[in-house]
Amino acid sequence: MSRLLRYLLGRLLWAIPVLLGASVVTFMIMQLTPGDPARFILGQRASQEAVMELRRELGLHQPIFVQYVDFVFHAAQGDFGQSLQTREEVTAMLLQRIPYTAQLSIAGLLIAVVVSFPVGVIGAVREGEAADHASRVGALLGISTPNFWLGLLLILVFAVPLEAFPIFGMTLVTEDPIAAVTSTLLPAIALGTAQAALLTRLLRGGMLDEMQEGYVRTARAYGIDNRETTYVYVLKNAVLPTITVIGLQLGALLGGAVIVEQVFGIPGIGRLAIQAIFNKDFPVIQGVTMLVAVTFVAANLLVDVLYAQLDPRIRLGGSER
Amino acid sequence: MSVLQIDDLHTYFDTESGTVRAVEGIDLTIEAGEIVGLVGESGSGKSVTASSIMDLVQHPGRIADGTVRYDGQDVLSLSEDELAELRGGEISMIFQDPMDAFNPTQTVGRQLHDVLRSHREGSVHPLVRALGLDHDADCKAAVVEMLDAVGIPNPEARYSDYPHEFSGGMIQRAMVGMALLCDPKLVLADEPTTGLDVSIERQILGLFKDLVEELDTAVLWITHDLSVVAKLCDRVVVMYAGKVMEVGSTEAVLSDPASPYTQALLDSIPRYDRPDEEMYVMEGDVPDPLNRPDGCRFADRCPEVHDRCHDHHPPRFDTGDREVACYLAEGDAE
Amino acid sequence: MSEDARSYTNVKWRVYRRIRTDLIAKLGAVIVVFSIAMAAFSIVDDFLLSELVIETLLHDPYELNPNNRLAEPSLAHPFGTDEQGRDILARVIYGTRTSIIVGVGSVLFAAIIGVSLGIVTAYYGGLVDNVGMRAMDVLLAFPAILLAIALLASLGRGFTSIIIALGVAYVPSFARVTRSKALSVKSDEYVTAAEVMGYPTRDVLVDEILPNCFTPIIVQGTFTLAVAIIAEAGLSFLGLGVNPPTPTWGIMLSGAQQYITTAWWYSLFPGLAIMVTVLGFNLLGDSIRDALDPQSGGEERRL
For B252-291, what is each residue's pLDDT tens digit? 888 888 888 888 888 877 666 665 666 566 777 777 778 7
Instruction: Tell me whether residue C139 is in a domain.
Output: yes
Give me the mean pLDDT over the B42-47 stretch: 84
Specify whether A104 is located in the same domain as A237: yes
Distance of CA B261 to the CA centre of its chain: 20
Pairing of strands B235-240, B243-249: antiparallel
Mean of the per-residue pLDDT values for chain A?
Answer: 87
Q: Return mean pLDDT, chain B.
A: 85
pLDDT 10s digits, B217-257? 899 999 988 888 988 899 999 999 888 999 999 998 888 88
Residues A165/A166/A169/A172 CA torsion (nearest 10 deg): -40
Residue C4 lies in a domain: no
Give the separation between CA B86 and CA C15, rounded to whole angstroms: 47
Please name the residue of chain A whose CA is at the shortest distance from the CA of residue B162: A312
Q: Which residues of B touch A313 (CB under 8 A)?
A: 104-105, 162, 164
d(CA B32, CA B73): 15
B99 touches chain A (CB under 8 A): yes
Chain CA centroid to CA B235, Å = 13
Using the predicted structure, report yes or no on whether residue C4 has a pLDDT greater than 60: no
Q: Is residue A75 domain-shared with residue A94, that is, in the same domain?
A: no
Q: Are residues A289 and A246 in the same domain?
A: no
Peptide bond into C245 cis (omega under 30): yes
At A254-298, the pLDDT tens digits run: 999 999 999 999 999 999 999 998 888 888 999 999 999 999 888
Same domain for A21 and A119?
no
Q: Where are the alpha helices (DSSP H) in chain C?
A: 3-21, 23-47, 52-57, 88-124, 126-140, 144-155, 159-186, 189-196, 201-203, 210-212, 214-238, 249-258, 264-292
Average pLDDT of every residue of chain C? 85
User: What is the per-residue pLDDT across C181-202, written as a single tens digit (0 to 9) for each?
Assistant: 888 888 777 788 887 787 888 8
> Does B80 score more than 90 pLDDT?
no
Judging by beta carbons within 10 Å of its beta carbon (0-12, 13-18, 19+), is residue A175 exposed, middle or buried? exposed
pLDDT digits (tens, 9 = 90+) for A236-254: 888 888 888 888 788 889 9
- Three-class DSSP category at B15: strand
**Per-residue confidence (pLDDT) for residue B280, from 0 to 100:** 67
ipTM of the complex: 0.88
A232, A312, A321: residue with CB nearest B126: A232
Q: Check which CATH number belongs to the domain holding C198 and give it.
A: 1.10.3720.10
A95 with A75, same domain: the answer is no
Between B8 and B295, whose confidence is greater? B8
Domain residues for the domain of A94 are 90-272
Backbone angles phi and psi of C301, in degrees to 5: -75, 145
Residues A241 and A127 grouped into a single domain: yes
Task: Please give the average per-residue pLDDT across B303-314, as a whole number.
Answer: 83
Pair A51, A199 in one domain: no
A-B contacts at Cβ under 8 angstroms: 100
Which of A179, A219, C26 is CA-nearest to residue B178? A219
Contact A172, A106 (CB under 8 A): no
Same domain, A206 and A66: no
- Would C83 be classed as within a structural domain? yes
> How many structural domains compose chain C?
1
Q: How far is B203 from chain A (nearest CA, A)?
A: 23
pLDDT surpassing 60 at residue C8: no
Q: Which chains reach chain C with 3 or more Cβ–Cβ distances below 8 angstroms?
A: A
How many Å apart are CA B163 and CA B70, to the nearest integer? 32
Radius of gyration of chain B from Cα atoms?
Answer: 21
Judge whether C6 lies within some domain.
no
> Closest to C303 (Cβ–Cβ): which among A28, A34, A255?
A255
Q: Does domain B2-233 have CATH number 3.40.50.300?
A: yes
Domain limits for position C138: 11-300
Do residues A194 and A79 both lie within one domain? Answer: no
pLDDT reading at A161 higher than 60? yes
Render pLDDT for C78-119 as a digit per residue (tens, 0 to 9).
888 888 888 889 899 999 999 999 999 999 999 999 999 999
Highest mean pLDDT among A214-223, A277-286, B8-17, C107-116: C107-116
Number of domains in chain A: 2
Question: Is the predicted pLDDT of residue C167 greater than 90, yes or no?
Answer: yes
Of B87, B103, B162, the CB nearest to A233: B103
Mark yes or no for CB contact A224/B118 under 8 Å: yes
Examine the pLDDT at C301 and tell me if it is beyond 50: no
A255 and A159 part of one domain: yes
Q: Hey, are the CB atoms on C240 and A277 less than 8 Å from each other?
A: yes
* Distance, CA of B210 to CA of A138 (rounded, Å): 58
Q: Is pLDDT at C25 greater than 50 in this prediction?
A: yes
Domain ranges of chain B: 2-233, 260-333
Q: Which of A220, A221, A316 sits opposite B165 (nearest CB)?
A: A316
> For residue C141, which phi and psi values (nearest 5 degrees)?
-70, -15
